[in-house]
A and B are shown apart, each in its own frame.
Chain A
């Protein structure tokens, strides 16, 4: 957490950098934006330059994919320098209205989508959902995610898993409207103060439920809880990890038949950042009839879809091909019928790209849970 007395150089360990360039070399957005994160690590050493650096438009091009941090040989997190500069902008108040509104909404309603807190569990409508109660021990406490809870396009992720859980008999519970944004995007937008508040409040809230595991539906919540919530008691897992357990215990009963070619896109927050590569593939492979193919750039080398890093609220100025479009074109070249993902943001960016490329007729972007909803008995 930020300590007032720390200088920028100390906070981001700028002197640890050997200017090897692996961060920029691996940064996916360099092909379409001017961002050179290594230069920021170098230049931010000069306190008097910080204001000028913070005003550069490219600090908003970072998607927080964390490739730079994963690759850095010296343990730096180069992107956090950019986030630190974003913090300066946020604190100065000169921020885009879209960003301001999203942050305001998190503060007031507990989600960045400017939806009312009261509507947070509307997605449950018509479903038989077990609701968590403080102090009552539960094996798997679910955390839905703001986007899944409110966005009609991805709501089915949560809805489908409920059916599956009820059928398999696992001990689970969901939170009611009290569920509040994990702060993943708040952090990457640079609103440090608000993020610290969320960490404090959510830790307190979630620790009240004596849960053994916190099961996240979105990789963004998953990685944020795992890496940025030091005092959380429950073990944090992604839903695909739980489902593979069920699969191995024979608790998923397949139905139907999907005679399609699927390519799986590794979300940065699930793969690169948390090393969950196999579980999503295992689930997909088990859908009857499916043929799996792989992107050239998969797993540790997966290409970012540009959905993270607050990019939902900041438009890129670049007119060059979006990475999501590159990804869809690659899928097309592989003759994939379905681009499967395990992240609500990836669904939104990739589907958007698919539509703008005009592949809607022959291709589908689907979250794994959407497919399982169709092919597992519930």
Chain B
């Protein structure tokens, strides 16, 4: 840029957010006296349409070629103002923002001092803006396909939406079947829809959809690249069953030499399965899988005279030679929908979950009341002596939630309602049962929730306010030691069955995904979204989105809503077919770079590699930046010993005067 810099400074009131603490007029007057500043104005909301028009008109009238907006953090509105000045014919990178809100008015009280600091921030921005260079954003093609990790209701819904829009979806599910936790539920609150009835059609759809490639019993091993161009490597674990040949008849499981010997994961260990199994009758795909950890042949090399399953399988689908398979593909966007783990009740030993078979979790209760569950829907428990139909039933809420003693301070959001639902189901199945719910608060915030809670209470479910402290046994009864806090009465309540309303926790294996995609956790340890309000499905990694309980506890309606949100966000690059890559990336001065490779190791985004170039007839190595991967973080620049790598817009010659300007002013 050879033009003489002509700077316009725009000081925002931000309603009274800034002007109540900063004398904006004084700041503007001061700015006008700074070198190269042609225009300085204040306005109530710079980001509003009239505010932007103000800037655009000045650019045209006064021939401004550098703009400073003294307002809020660039996080939100830098793109707004870049776009505005671009519309007025300026290079969008000729913009600098002075953050006089977050860094000034919001954190100071004294007007005089805050005004003085705002002046400094503006002067410093002026010092830099004059030195900025024009940059061009580049676009690269985006692969019109998406990867979805996890096929619970969140992953299934997102996959269907994206596939219906005409894009290819790779849906990767760790377990042999899609469905996630929702598949285990009996009825769903607050409407009492049968979970399987509303979920199964969607499961089937996602297996048969022409645009969905379902990779079940698979795990993502590697993800490289960047938004628009992710390279994915998936391991399809060996099922030891030929996927195409297996008809799902189940003869193998019925004849397996270790038939019904192992705890069924789907039935929460209450039911049993064989070494070769289908997790549940409606599983999708309806293909059997041999569990390598329980199969005789795979663990000991011998199953009777020969594998029984192989002998009985008419389709000849059993194949012990099968090996894991690696599948590689490219996608433009990724949705993480890996869900949650139910809280492990043995972490609260005072409730005796490990000791008493009639202390069960909410997840187990779902299976117990389910017609497809281990008892065929009959509520029967073993009280240590005999199997009984429980007449005295207690629910305990907030188990593992809102509880600093187990490190979970958050509310799990679904247990209040699923407990109400399960109390209703017990009332249905055991009309003469005495049912009480021990609660601290009842959080019935969703659509139809309070109404449902009202209904359940009137079905003679007694809500007692107090969180039990201990459970032990006396005779064949469980004693719940609790205080009824409304009457201040300590109780030893004798019951037949205790249902622990366990909360939702981040998955124990979430670190694998965090490492693959560079995701972070919020303080509750669930995946961190880019902004808690305005970007709830985005992550700090561009092109990677979150859906469902992996981001925080939620019920099915919220999970589905979020999955649809994530799907629509993920479809933006796919639909455009192109992604913009930032222009503010690092650049190497190949003349001075010594090829030491220091920056290569520093870069947290693996954006730098060493390449060979010809320098005056000599082959030398220099660093080269992959602009699509570079985030412009500047780490490399801080590390480079010869100042050869520098992020554009943040070069030493641009930021040093900016810093200096902060110091010289009083």
A residues near B, CB below 8 A? 18-27, 30-31, 36, 38-39, 67, 70-75, 296-297, 299-301
Given contacts A20-B485, A21-B482, A21-B485, contact A73 B467 (CB under 8 A): yes
The contact of A20 among B466, B471, B474, B490, by CB within 8 Å, is B466
A301 neighbours in B (Cβ, 8 Å):
349-350, 352, 470-472
Q: Is the CB of B481 within 8 A of A25?
A: yes
Given contacts A24-B490, A38-B483, contact A299 B349 (CB under 8 A): yes
Interface size (B, Cβ < 8 Å)?
29
Q: Is the CB of B349 within 8 A of A300?
A: yes
The contact of B472 among A23, A70, A72, A297, by CB within 8 Å, is A297
Binds A, one of B228-236, B397-405, B514-522: B397-405
The digit string for B454-478, where 1 denotes a CB below 8 A from any CB of A, is 0000000000011111111110000
B468 neighbours in A (Cβ, 8 Å):
22, 25
CA distance in complex: A67, B490 (Å): 15
| Cβ-closest chain B residue relative to A39 | B488
The contact of B466 among A21, A30, A73, A75, by CB within 8 Å, is A21
B488 CB to nearest chain A CB (Å) = 6
Given contacts A20-B485, A38-B485, A296-B473, contact A26 B350 (CB under 8 A): yes
Q: Is the CB of B405 within 8 A of A72?
A: yes
Q: Is the CB of B352 within 8 A of A36?
A: no
B101 CB to nearest chain A CB (Å) = 31
Q: Is the CB of B469 within 8 A of A71?
A: yes
List 6 tightest A-B contacts by C-beta distance, closest first. A26-B469, A25-B469, A21-B483, A30-B490, A21-B466, A73-B403
The contact of A25 among B352, B403, B405, B490, by CB within 8 Å, is B490
Given contacts A25-B470, A25-B490, contact A75 B485 (CB under 8 A): no
B473 neighbours in A (Cβ, 8 Å):
296
CA distance in complex: A219, B155 (Å): 52
A72 neighbours in B (Cβ, 8 Å):
404-405
Q: Is the CB of B440 within 8 A of A18?
A: yes
A343 CB to nearest chain B CB (Å) = 20
Most buried by A among B398, B473, B485: B485
Given contacts A18-B440, A71-B405, A296-B474, contact A36 B488 (CB under 8 A): yes
A300 neighbours in B (Cβ, 8 Å):
349-350
A36 CB to nearest chain B CB (Å) = 6
Q: Is the CB of B350 within 8 A of A20?
A: no
B481 CB to nearest chain A CB (Å) = 6
A247 CB to nearest chain B CB (Å) = 25
B404 CB to nearest chain A CB (Å) = 5
Most buried by B among A21, A38, A300: A21
15 examples of A-B residue contacts, CB within 8 angstroms = A18-B441, A20-B485, A21-B469, A21-B485, A24-B469, A25-B468, A26-B481, A38-B488, A71-B469, A73-B398, A73-B404, A73-B467, A75-B405, A296-B472, A296-B473
The digit string for B388-408, where 1 denotes a CB below 8 A from any CB of A, is 000000000010001111000
A26 neighbours in B (Cβ, 8 Å):
350, 469-470, 481
* 7 further interface pairs, Cβ-Cβ under 8 Å (given A22-B468, A26-B469, A299-B349): A25-B466, A25-B490, A72-B405, A296-B473, A300-B349, A301-B352, A301-B471
Q: Is the CB of B469 within 8 A of A23?
A: yes
| Cβ-closest chain B residue relative to A24 | B483
B491 neighbours in A (Cβ, 8 Å):
25
| Cβ-closest chain B residue relative to A74 | B404
B471 neighbours in A (Cβ, 8 Å):
301
Considering only residues 354-412 of chain B, those with a C-beta below 8 Å from chain A are 398, 402-405
A334 CB to nearest chain B CB (Å) = 13
B350 neighbours in A (Cβ, 8 Å):
26, 71, 300-301
A30 neighbours in B (Cβ, 8 Å):
483, 490
The contact of B469 among A22, A39, A296, by CB within 8 Å, is A22
A73 CB to nearest chain B CB (Å) = 4
Q: Is the CB of B485 within 8 A of A19?
A: yes
| Cβ-closest chain B residue relative to A37 | B483
| Cβ-closest chain A residue relative to B480 | A25
| Cβ-closest chain A residue relative to B466 | A21
Considering only residues 262-276 of chain B, those with a C-beta below 8 Å from chain A are none
CA distance in complex: A223, B474 (Å): 31
Given contacts A21-B466, A71-B469, contact A36 B405 (CB under 8 A): no
Q: Is the CB of B467 within 8 A of A22?
A: yes
| Cβ-closest chain B residue relative to A294 | B355
CA distance in complex: A21, B472 (Å): 18
CA distance in complex: A26, B471 (Å): 9
B535 CB to nearest chain A CB (Å) = 31
| Cβ-closest chain B residue relative to A67 | B469
